[in-house]
Structure 1
Amino acid sequence: MESCRRLFDRRHEGAGPGSDLLGIVVEAGGCVSEIPRKESWTLLRAWRKLYCAPVPAAFGKRILGVSGGYSWHTFSHNHFPHVAGRQALQEYSAQPARELLVLPERSSSAAFRCSSAVPPDSSRLRFDVYVAPSDFAWTMVFTHENEWYGPYFSRAEWGERGVFRS
């Protein structure tokens, strides 16, 4: 992995840490590598396959990022068990530090693999970011509407059990 500071400096001349997703990861003390766009799209599809599975067919396209919908609507519409707000942040911060995927919903934004002692908190960025370990055992979702919707935390096993936790 490229030095976090060098990668940040190379991509963001004049922008300080925290001004974008990479800045948030660098602020958390993480080491980061950019995920190629095609792989990022594949990873986000895998996330959707797991966490959006219970979305009724009638709502699928709207929730899955087509026609103005967002994948995190699987949580805001209560299709997948989750916790929200402060409880979500508490669950997220309790996760063991390891390599994480940081996947923005917008395909125009870069995605990253990062490892840090503190999980990156992108709630102040006001765009949709999905954070998860590579096995998608759990996920943290920051939304562009954090004042009203989110953030959301969920575990794959909560959906398997069908237990709603919010």
Structure 2
Amino acid sequence: MRRAALSAGQLYQALAALLRQTMLGEGPPRKLDHLRWLVAPDLLSFGYALRTTLSSLIALGIALWWELGSPQWAALTVWMVAQGTRGKSIAKARWHMFGMVVGTICAVVLVACMPQAPLLYVLSLALGIGAFCFIGTLLPGPAAMTNYRIHGMRASGFTYA
């Protein structure tokens, strides 16, 4: 059996050394340079994290204000559709919304068709989720948009369930 690259103690020592050297202004040692993002992220990454965190807190606040049954899903949705730029986030959110609408419609049809057949219901549910994921892989389009379409179809399957 192979050993893990770093044990918990070694990781703690490495992070402590990295933090100590960063606080002193010396920068990370060469062998710990790949952990620099953890202690000293660049400005772009920090801005993205801050913008996404504030957006998710606003969404959570609105969900709590409206007294929704499960307000945590509002914040989670923000994190699911968050991308590096606003345009990409809007494109992914559009496909996420499309997937939720399709999943809701299909779920209502499924429940209406099988009110007294639990085994058939569970089988249809599993086949439906598999079909949504399969259809997501078949959707054509540019490479950047294909990811969002796949995400939309996964959202359909999640909502369907």
Relative to the length of structure 2, the TM-score reads 0.30
Relative to the length of structure 1, the TM-score reads 0.29
Largest Rg, 1 or 2: 2
Structure with more contact order per residue of length (Cα contacts < 8 Å, sep ≥ 6): 1
- Between Structure 1 and Structure 2, which shows a larger proportion of helix residues? 2
